[in-house]
Amino acid sequence: MLLMNKNFILPQALYKSRRGDCKFFLIFFFFSFSISTHAHDLNNSYTEVIVTADSLQIAVTFDLTDLARVFVLDANGNKSIEPEELQPRLAEIYDYIEGHITLAANFSPVALGRRKTWPTKDDFGNLFVSFLFAQKIDGLPAEIALSVDFFEKFGAQHKNLVKIAIGEKIEPAVLSSDNPRQRFTAGGELSLFSQINQFVKLGIEHIFLGYDHIMFLVALIVIGSRLGNLVKIVTAFTVAHSITLILAALEILQLPPQIIESGIALSIAYVAAENFFIAQSNHRWVLTFCFGLVHGFGFANVLGDLGLPASGLVPSLLAFNAGVEIGQLCIVAVLFPLTLWMAKQKFQRQMVFAFSSVILLFGLGWFVERVFGLAFMPI
């Protein structure tokens, strides 16, 4: 059972046992949350994360007034939202939260399962809706990172007030459009070797799950080439994205996410279109290097959401790049025999055109989607 105390969500047992230990924290949140109950234009949401040695729970709470501004909840138009009107929209709101919040433990994303949803009134009569997620974990993690992206839908002034309880440690945070992510030290042990190993796995997973990066690679090599050229293409891509990934992670050079994601989509479309006019890839490593610089910024955004380590940062980034390289080589190893077979067929050019046409359509679709903030193609 969760207890709502002046808009502050805290498990009842935890609240009773730690009142004395977190007095400043409660005062801070009580003040912030009490102001929000009288001024809904402050546009706040609230996130509570509870981490124990065997479970991780997260509750995301919105003022019903704010939800009604961005989701169609008043189905009958009577200016009052009834429970039967809210219920059919809960799945949509859950989908939105899952797509715009990232929680990582030890730099690895945590897939959160939905648990329950409930409305709660505070002492001032304001109605809030809480969305609960939970996942089992094995041991208290050393690092927890939280990232939210509610700001496009709820506005640039939106604030997400966070309370994270990790074992006996409680920390507050305020996430905003200028500061959308926060990393918390949990106190568990994570050796540098384990950290590097984790980042290698992340690099491999990101390539295999990054459909746009896979399509970029396919577009590069589908026209066929000697193995030496393919190695140069993949290496040029790795070197290039390593440069920008490290520069962005160290906050030496950064670009807006929309420009980065649009640039990645454009690189896919360009390479696919070029396949209609070239038959060899001898000099394509130069093009790959240029576009690899853009993809590196995209990798940096992903790592930023997972929370970058305070210690061992450079080795972790290099480990991530190594994982990306391993993933790319696996993809090339699978596709290279196919390109060799295609090169011996009379219809090789037709097959290249067919593959490139599909990739070109996806690239253009993603480009339009990302430039104009649309959502009509799966990524």
- pLDDT tens readout for residues 124-167: 567 888 899 988 888 778 778 888 888 888 888 888 888 888 77
Residue 118 shares a structural domain with residue 206: no
Residue 154 shares a structural domain with residue 207: no
Residue 179 shares a structural domain with residue 207: no
Residue at a domain's end among 185, 212, 240: 185
Contact by Cβ (8 Å): 6, 30: yes
pLDDT of residue 41: 41
All residues at 6 or more sequence positions from 16 whose CB lies less than 8 Å from its CB, including other chains: none
Could you tell me the CA-to-CA distances from 303 to 163, 193, 371 in Å, in that order? 22, 18, 22
pLDDT of residue 358: 92
Residue 172 shares a structural domain with residue 203: no
Q: How far apart are CA 230 and CA 215, in angstroms?
A: 15
pLDDT of residue 312: 65
Residue 208 shares a structural domain with residue 180: no
Give the domain range for residue 357. 192-372
Q: Which residue from 121, 1, 134, 102 is spatially nearest to 63, judged by alpha carbons? A: 121
Per the structure, the count of domains in the chain is 2
Residue 119 shares a structural domain with residue 236: no
To the nearest 10 degrees (0 to 180), the angle between helices 313-343 and 227-249 is: 150
What are the pLDDT digits (tens) for 314-347?
A: 777 888 888 888 888 888 888 888 888 887 888 8
Q: What is the pLDDT along the chain (379 residues), one digit of tens a residue?
A: 233 333 333 333 333 333 333 333 333 443 444 434 344 345 788 899 888 888 888 999 988 888 888 888 877 777 777 767 778 888 888 889 888 888 888 777 888 888 877 777 766 567 888 899 988 888 778 778 888 888 888 888 888 888 888 777 777 788 888 888 887 776 655 567 766 777 787 788 778 877 788 888 888 888 776 777 777 888 888 889 889 888 887 878 888 878 888 888 899 999 899 888 876 667 788 888 988 898 888 888 767 656 566 566 777 788 888 888 888 888 888 888 888 888 788 888 888 889 899 999 998 988 888 887 655 444 4
Residue at a domain's end among 151, 185, 219: 185
Q: What is the dihedral of CA 5, 10, 15, 20, to 10 degrees?
A: -80
Q: What is the pTM of this model?
A: 0.55
pLDDT of residue 360: 92
Tokens linked to 223: 């026209």
Residue 276 shares a structural domain with residue 240: yes
- Tell me whether strands 159-166 and 44-51 are parallel, antiparallel or unpaired: parallel
Q: How far apart are CA 249 and CA 96, in angstroms?
A: 27
Residue 223 shares a structural domain with residue 126: no
Residue at a domain's end among 129, 161, 185: 185
Residue 305 shares a structural domain with residue 198: yes
Residue 123 shares a structural domain with residue 236: no
Residue 76 shares a structural domain with residue 103: yes
Q: Which residue from 41, 207, 63 is spatially nearest to 129, judged by alpha carbons? A: 63
Tokens linked to 128: 């809030």
Residue 244 shares a structural domain with residue 343: yes
Q: How far is CA 86 from the centre of its chain?
A: 27
Q: Is 378 contained in some domain?
A: no
